[in-house]
A and B are shown apart, each in its own frame.
Chain A
Amino acid sequence: MPVSLLWAVDVYGRVFSLSTGGQQWEHCCDAVLEFKRLTAVQQCCWGIACDHHIYLNVHASDVPIRYQEEAYENQRWNPVDNFSDRLLPSDRWQWSDITGLEHKPLDGFLLPSTNWEWEGDWYIDENFGGEPTEKGGWTYAIDFPATYTIDKKWNSCVRRRRWIRYRRYKATDTWAKIPSEGQSGPLPDPFNDISCGGWEISEEPRGRLSLWAVSLQGKVWFRGGIHHHTPEGMSWEEVSLPGEVVQISCGPGDLVWAVLWEGQLIVREGITRDCPQGSSWVVVDSPNPEVGTIHVAVGVSVVWAVTKDNKVWFRRGINSHNPCGSGWIGMVGEMVMISVGLNDQVWAISREDRAVYFRQGVTSTELSGKAWKAVSVPRDGDIRPNSSTSTSSLHSAGCFFSGEVRAQSVMSEDSDTEADPQRAVHEVGASVSSPPSEVTPGDAEAKSPPPALVLSPSQSGGPGDPQWSTVDLEEAQTHLAVGPAAGRGDSSDTCSLSSVVTCMLGLEGLYGPDDHPLWAWVSGGGCAVDCHTQLNWFNSVTALTSSIQAMSLSVSPAQTAAWRKQIFEQLNERSKREIDNFKHYEQAIEQSVWVKKGTMQWWRDWKPHKWVDVRFALEQFSGPEGHKDGIVFLYYNFNEEKKYLHAFINEVTILVPVLNDSKHTFAIYTAERTKQRWPIKLAAATEMEMHDWLALLSVSCCDSRGIQGPPSKQAIWSITCKGDIFVSEPWPSLEACPYPTPCDQMFWRQVGGHLRLVECNSVGVVWGLGYDHTAWVYTGGYGGGFFQGLASSTDNIFTQTDVKSVYIYENQRWNPVTGYTSRGLPTDRYMWSDATGLHECTKASTKPPSPHWTWVTEWAVDYGVSGGTDREGWQYAADFPTSYHGYKTLKDFVRRRRWARKCKLTTTGPWQEVPPIPLSDVTILPCGDQSVVEQIPLWAISNKGDVLCRLGVTLLTPAGTSWLHVGTDQPFKSISIGGASQVWAIARDGSAFYRGSVSTQNPAGDCWYHIPSPARQKLKQVSVGRTSVYTVDENGTEMFPRYYSFARLSVYVFNVALSVQVWIIADKVQGSHSLSCGTVCHRLGVQPMEPKGQAWDYGIGGGWDHITVRGNNIEAPRVRMPSLTDALRPPDISPKCCPLVVFDLQ
């Protein structure tokens, strides 16, 4: 989880932010402005300052916000001037946009506001559709408008070229004033409330937001046109209203609620991606007809409200079909305002002490959470209010809140301290509860006299006759009974807490700088926490008294090391004392064979293939030299006869979880089985049983091969299409010539985590990218996932999450009577299907890919399909299955649209997140031995196509420190850095680029050189070695190395001693028994002088997606020195680099 911010305003108007990884409120940089309200999202924060103007604070990012302006220069040929700007009267403007219809002189381009600056001057774009043009960038055609080509022909009468210039948003990390202009001049009255959201409505344009504001007169305004390239938005539009609004809240999706002066609420309906401002309002009554609502806060599918008596209410039954919900539930606590953040997490400011509270236990299944917990962290130290102005504002604030300041000591923690009498006093009268099914009344607070009244769901809307009933408090009471019995722990809990707080009051003045801050507003819209997040906000060490600080010293790292070291040393001494001198003694317990048995299902080897019940056993025994070995047995019945199949553990090459939604399946491969493309496929009864077996078998395999601990720096990493990560220790003999070890004998072991791509280099820096484009850096551990206990390192294992989308298609056929319907022809595909149409996939029946995944969104129409869609997401075609287009023609008889639903996986592994930029490709320089502080070049491409260079990557800090943005004229998709810091990249249009002048002193290089693609192919992926560059084109055919002999590439020193390794993932490989997709292949015979190699050697297969051998700098034994000692040479003799190619075989 990347670090994100919770924003808050204190009663003096000062803005603070609290990082999810931090432990104190940081005062916002801009000290001059005082704010009333804030609304934060992940990329920015909007606020209303005390001057009633709206300000925008865009968070600085390593990738700047830059916008490409373009203009076309048009010329016509005439016999006198040749090509000149003398155009015909019927022609387009000399300077125009791409269509030629609009006049676009270069000096007519103005910066949209003072918050922008030009990056440089205008220059000519010399890239045309992936191909470099001649100097000058001209493209030629017969006439305007026509098809342009790079080559000048005899009939080329016109030409044009493209000029580009970038402007950059400069007002980041500062408050930029937004002029309050409507479409027809300045707005009549100043703003009173503001709410930002709506980023989930549509992914296009990127970073789109909805901003809603309320004016002092109670009018509502909508600001459109806010997205990544226009963070300030366009202008305000007034939204008609049924009454006067005091406050508004906009969720991440299509929920928008507002509070009317009279205390009712209004809900916006008709919000869609085409109409983000919605169409109409629906009135919802206040939770309590006598007491009006004063505040509302909405999330994705929750609504929280506060009534005038400061009671908190939760709205039941909110979903995308019913934005109004179905009834109110009274909650514990008295609050003045509430903010709903990401993942529907909730923050609030309490009436009692003006502290910020976090709602604990909010999960997707229990949206109302469990209990309020005070955020008790100090503010940063340098905010001592000593100026005269602050004194006066203090005074005025004191008038309002003096009563509450005194009361602060009682609210400091209220999660589950059952025996806290002070809490009890304050919670009396707070009405609680709900039917037990809705909100667990396990809230400890509910134990006092049962005020517990519940508003019946059926009656919720009707103010006339609210039906009240008591709530079952049984669970709460058992809680109470347990409390005292729980003993010393709990009672001392209370004592220490209260004493600490008293002490604070005694030490500090009433408004001392370290005093409990009084908050006026909080916004969690940009704060990414969920139920798994570990927050350090609730037990602040620095806020406690000195005695506690003294005690906390006992867990300081140095001392930790001391006691651990002591134990390690003493255990060693004990072994020496008690065992080493007595080794000749007999052991009390004789070692024996250990057998683990179980029942499983086996995918039978012979036809008809089916699952059959088998008994499965692992026999482990100690081998002759003390290392362990084993055999797996599989007992089955064949024609009433008992038979068995077995495999030696030391011959097993890999264990692959093949989890699908119906069975807990895994596959066991040996070298022989890899050749056959037919593993032993087994299914366990439960997921846990499968994991137990996999963990045990995996440990046995590693034991038998003497492998333990983390993978070596030379390890080869690979990833399956399920996102499972495997690692193999390379043998020098893999590259031996002429008799290399076949790569089907390689042993792969699994490492915890979930990735889509992994890249490494030869000094042990490993980065991975998740399906959700999150970047992860390898921590040096092993295990994680289902490897627990012994098979996993104790440190270096962290929680890892990944998100991916599942797609299904809705198919329809046109008929003359009813138009498009879901009634197809009998021969048609399923009306709800997968992409092929062969399998039925309905919204209800489609499950996440495996039990590890859980849904995190509802089904939604996916508009981002290649070929385009219409406004409802449909794509049309003449018939199934053909190519689809995004508009309807007369010939189209069928249409389809894609539905997407996101699911999320939470696992563990030796990976730590590298926030905040999502990446689509990454490459690390394969370097030799080097010092731990030397920078390692690492380049990446963001998921938006920006090229990035990571600074500060060293052996000690493999995650690096920051990104350096490398400007490009178009989005990129693949990048690779090879020997001598050569950086090659592929743009999204398939063209290849080389980055010039990259060196240690100039890590980002200076400019891009456009390299013509081989045979004008559109390229997909690139991988660079020291002397050769390998690429894959979009058809998946491999491009063998080309040597660029340009003068500027003289860095290509031809190193004869270098051994090159080329590995790919091939699409389909035929085995003796079956065929496998996604197979690891190794190119044999690749030599510096023979970069194409000789033949393919096929390794593990069946769903492999990615492989990287860039860590493997082991030198192969040479033919000329075939002695054994040579083959066993230590791996790290000389720095080597090895290119990797991943390309598909056709």
Chain B
Amino acid sequence: MIADDKDVLRDVWFGRIPTCFTLYQDEVTEREAEPFYLLLPRVSYLTLVTDKVKKHFLKVMKAEDVEEIWFEYEGTPLKWHYPIGLLFDLHASNTSLPWSITVHFKNFPERDLLHCPCNSVIEAHFMSSIKEADALKHKSQVINDMQKKDHKQLWMGLQNDKFDQFWAINRKLMEYPTEEGGFRYIPFRIYLTMSDRPFIQKLFRPISPDGHTHTLGDLLKEVYPVAIANEAKRYQVVIHGIEPLLETPLQWLSEHLSHPDNFLHISVIPAPSD
């Protein structure tokens, strides 16, 4: 049983999703492609952790048949720039494990996905998220005070799955003046499967003007009341595969359940019908 808040950070970081990668049936192969099983880190990005998958399938394919790799789950192209855990919670919660992902090497869905030619693109995306989050939390003061090598250490920590290395720097991004009781604004994004909008993002403070603590429920009430409106539970509010209680303080969530990109990614998904 976990006892300390810091163990939550560790659990969040070391969250894994067992995944079965299968090659798309129409891809041309020289011999039959075996499925590939992997434990994917929830907090990382698909294209960052699938070198092994790519290598595995390239063994059975001709070089001329290979274009940019992309992934799809039950017909939905998976955005590599969303954290893996978010993709899973959003599209595949309440399904049986392992998560079955189809691998494509052709017909890149230009309308749905961004290209990801190399890891530096992921790094740029990751760092810009952190910077955006810090702009919300500290008017960018913390991230701007860091040195280049600190930025690098954040990225290397994520890339190499080094919890200590990452948190040695990231803790500075999670600090705030005690007299203020929290960040300026909470960096969060709320994702809805059934909406055209990719996500909701607004300015929201962790502490109300009269000094009381804002909770996850307060946030949803303000930003997306539908999620908690109905007495019959129609939606699940999922972060890192769990459903925190609505009275959980938002500041605490932001400090402990944010992804390495410093955003709190909240999925609102339809509750299973059974």
Q: What B residues does A572 contact at CB under 8 A?
A: 1-2
* A555-B249, A589-B44 known; A487 vs B4 contact (CB < 8 Å): no
Which residues of A649-676 have CB atoms within 8 Å of chain B's CB atoms? none
Q: What B residues does A493 contact at CB under 8 A?
A: 209-210
Q: Which of A539, A571, A579, A789 contacts B168 (CB 8 A)?
A: A789
Q: Which of A160-168, A562-570, A957-965 binds B?
A: A562-570
Q: Which of B160, B165, B257 contacts A589 (CB 8 A)?
A: B160
Closest to A793 in B: B4
Whether, in the assembled complex, B205 has its beta carbon less than 8 Å from a beta carbon of chain A, the answer is yes
Closest to B253 in A: A567
Once the chains bind, are A487 and B203 in contact (CB under 8 Å)?
Answer: yes
Closest to B205 in A: A489
Once the chains bind, are A496 and B8 in contact (CB under 8 Å)?
Answer: no
Once the chains bind, are B171 and A790 in contact (CB under 8 Å)?
Answer: yes
Whether, in the assembled complex, A883 has its beta carbon less than 8 Å from a beta carbon of chain B, the answer is no
Contact mask for chain B residues 200-242; partner A; CB cutoff 8 A; 1 contact, 0 none: 0001010011111101000000000000000000000000111
* A582-B18, A696-B168, A793-B4 known; A574 vs B241 contact (CB < 8 Å): yes
Once the chains bind, are A571 and B162 in contact (CB under 8 Å)?
Answer: no
Whether, in the assembled complex, B28 has its beta carbon less than 8 Å from a beta carbon of chain A, the answer is no
Once the chains bind, are B52 and A588 in contact (CB under 8 Å)?
Answer: yes
In Å, the complex CA distance between A494 and B208 comes to: 11
Q: What B residues does A620 contact at CB under 8 A?
A: 164
In Å, the complex CA distance between A582 and B98 comes to: 8
* A493-B209, A574-B241, A586-B52 known; A568 vs B44 contact (CB < 8 Å): no
Once the chains bind, are A790 and B212 in contact (CB under 8 Å)?
Answer: no
Smallest Cβ distance from A472 to chain B, in angstroms?
23
Whether, in the assembled complex, B50 has its beta carbon less than 8 Å from a beta carbon of chain A, the answer is yes
Smallest Cβ distance from A559 to chain B, in angstroms?
6
Q: What B residues does A574 contact at CB under 8 A?
A: 11, 15, 240-242
Contact mask for chain B residues 11-25; partner A; CB cutoff 8 A; 1 contact, 0 none: 110011110000000
Once the chains bind, are A567 and B242 in contact (CB under 8 Å)?
Answer: yes
Once the chains bind, are A790 and B244 in contact (CB under 8 Å)?
Answer: no
Once the chains bind, are A586 and B4 in contact (CB under 8 Å)?
Answer: no
In Å, the complex CA distance between A226 and B49 comes to: 77
Q: Which of A492, A570, A575, A793 contacts B209 (CB 8 A)?
A: A492
Q: What B residues does A28 contact at CB under 8 A?
A: none
Once the chains bind, are B209 and A496 in contact (CB under 8 Å)?
Answer: yes
In Å, the complex CA distance between A500 and B40 comes to: 52
Once the chains bind, are B39 and A567 in contact (CB under 8 Å)?
Answer: no
Question: Which has the most chain B C-beta neighbours within 10 Å: A487, A544, A574?
Answer: A574
Closest to A799 in B: B178
Q: Which of A534, A554, A793 contacts B178 (CB 8 A)?
A: A534
Once the chains bind, are A554 and B212 in contact (CB under 8 Å)?
Answer: yes
Q: What B residues does A696 contact at CB under 8 A?
A: 168
Whether, in the assembled complex, B37 has its beta carbon less than 8 Å from a beta carbon of chain A, the answer is yes
Whether, in the assembled complex, B243 has its beta carbon less than 8 Å from a beta carbon of chain A, the answer is yes
Whether, in the assembled complex, A951 has its beta carbon less than 8 Å from a beta carbon of chain B, the answer is no
Once the chains bind, are A490 and B41 in contact (CB under 8 Å)?
Answer: no
Q: Which of B38, B165, B245 contacts A585 (CB 8 A)?
A: B38
Closest to B4 in A: A794
Contact mask for chain A residues 693-734; partner B; CB cutoff 8 A; 1 contact, 0 none: 001100100000000000000000000000000000000000
Whether, in the assembled complex, A931 has its beta carbon less than 8 Å from a beta carbon of chain B, the answer is no
Which residues of B130-185 have CB atoms within 8 Å of chain A's CB atoms? 159-162, 164-165, 167-168, 171, 174, 178-179
Q: What B residues does A497 contact at CB under 8 A?
A: 209-210
* A572-B1, A578-B18, A579-B39 known; A554 vs B11 contact (CB < 8 Å): no
Question: Which has the most chain B C-beta neighbours within 10 Å: A493, A571, A699?
Answer: A571
Smallest Cβ distance from A531 to chain B, in angstroms?
10
Once the chains bind, are A578 and B16 in contact (CB under 8 Å)?
Answer: yes
Closest to B50 in A: A588
Main secondary structure of the interface of A (DSSP, over half): helix
In Å, the complex CA distance between A588 and B244 comes to: 28
In Å, the complex CA distance between A81 and B43 comes to: 100
Whether, in the assembled complex, A414 has its beta carbon less than 8 Å from a beta carbon of chain B, the answer is no
Once the chains bind, are B178 and A587 in contact (CB under 8 Å)?
Answer: no
Q: Which of A496, A500, A699, A789 contacts B171 (CB 8 A)?
A: A789
Q: How large is the interface on B (under 10, 10 to 19, 20 to 34, 35 or more residues)?
A: 35 or more
Closest to A417 in B: B209
Whether, in the assembled complex, B5 has its beta carbon less than 8 Å from a beta carbon of chain A, the answer is yes
Once the chains bind, are A594 and B210 in contact (CB under 8 Å)?
Answer: no
In Å, the complex CA distance between A788 and B247 comes to: 28
Q: What A residues does B257 contact at CB under 8 A?
A: 567
Whether, in the assembled complex, B97 has its beta carbon less than 8 Å from a beta carbon of chain A, the answer is yes
Whether, in the assembled complex, A488 has its beta carbon less than 8 Å from a beta carbon of chain B, the answer is yes
Question: Which has the most chain B C-beta neighbours within 10 Å: A559, A578, A581, A788?
Answer: A578
Which residues of A172-192 have CB atoms within 8 Å of chain B's CB atoms? none
Once the chains bind, are A692 and B161 in contact (CB under 8 Å)?
Answer: no
Q: What B residues does A587 contact at CB under 8 A?
A: 16, 38-39, 161
Once the chains bind, are A585 and B213 in contact (CB under 8 Å)?
Answer: no
Q: What B residues does A639 contact at CB under 8 A?
A: none
In Å, the complex CA distance between A563 and B243 comes to: 10
Closest to A548 in B: B210
Contact mask for chain A residues 527-565; partner B; CB cutoff 8 A; 1 contact, 0 none: 000000010000100001000100110110001001110
Whether, in the assembled complex, B6 has its beta carbon less than 8 Å from a beta carbon of chain A, the answer is yes
Once the chains bind, are A566 and B171 in contact (CB under 8 Å)?
Answer: no
Contact mask for chain B residues 229-273; partner A; CB cutoff 8 A; 1 contact, 0 none: 000000000001111110111000000110000000000000000
Question: Which has the most chain B C-beta neighbours within 10 Å: A500, A585, A587, A790?
Answer: A585
Which residues of A989-1040 have CB atoms within 8 Å of chain B's CB atoms? none
Q: What B residues does A365 contact at CB under 8 A?
A: none
Once the chains bind, are A566 and B16 in contact (CB under 8 Å)?
Answer: no
Whether, in the assembled complex, A1050 has its beta carbon less than 8 Å from a beta carbon of chain B, the answer is no
Contact mask for chain B residues 28-43; partner A; CB cutoff 8 A; 1 contact, 0 none: 0000000001111100
Whether, in the assembled complex, A388 has its beta carbon less than 8 Å from a beta carbon of chain B, the answer is no
Once the chains bind, are A500 and B248 in contact (CB under 8 Å)?
Answer: no
Closest to A577 in B: B97
Once the chains bind, are A585 and B4 in contact (CB under 8 Å)?
Answer: no
In Å, the complex CA distance between A752 and B97 comes to: 45
Closest to A588 in B: B49
Q: Which of A563, A571, A592 contacts B2 (CB 8 A)?
A: A571
In Å, the complex CA distance between A552 and B52 comes to: 51
Smallest Cβ distance from B143 to chain A, in angstroms?
16
Once the chains bind, are A589 and B161 in contact (CB under 8 Å)?
Answer: yes
Whether, in the assembled complex, A591 has its beta carbon less than 8 Å from a beta carbon of chain B, the answer is yes
Once the chains bind, are A790 and B5 in contact (CB under 8 Å)?
Answer: no
Closest to A490 in B: B209
Once the chains bind, are B178 and A563 in contact (CB under 8 Å)?
Answer: no
Closest to A585 in B: B39
In Å, the complex CA distance between A194 and B136 comes to: 52
Q: What B residues does A589 contact at CB under 8 A?
A: 41, 44, 49, 159-161
Contact mask for chain A residues 570-614; partner B; CB cutoff 8 A; 1 contact, 0 none: 111111011101100111110110101000000000000000000
Q: Which 10 A-B residue pairs are closest in the complex by CB-CB distance?
A: A493-B209, A789-B171, A582-B18, A570-B242, A588-B49, A589-B161, A563-B248, A563-B245, A568-B2, A585-B39
Q: List 29 A-B contacts (CB under 8 A).
A: A492-B208, A493-B209, A500-B210, A552-B212, A554-B213, A554-B215, A563-B247, A563-B248, A563-B249, A567-B248, A570-B242, A571-B242, A572-B1, A574-B242, A578-B16, A579-B16, A581-B18, A582-B98, A586-B38, A586-B52, A588-B39, A588-B40, A588-B50, A589-B159, A594-B162, A594-B165, A696-B168, A789-B167, A790-B9
- B-side residues, CB < 8 A to A, are 1-9, 11-12, 15-18, 37-41, 44, 49-50, 52, 97-98, 159-162, 164-165, 167-168, 171, 174, 178-179, 203, 205, 208-213, 215, 240-245, 247-249, 256-257
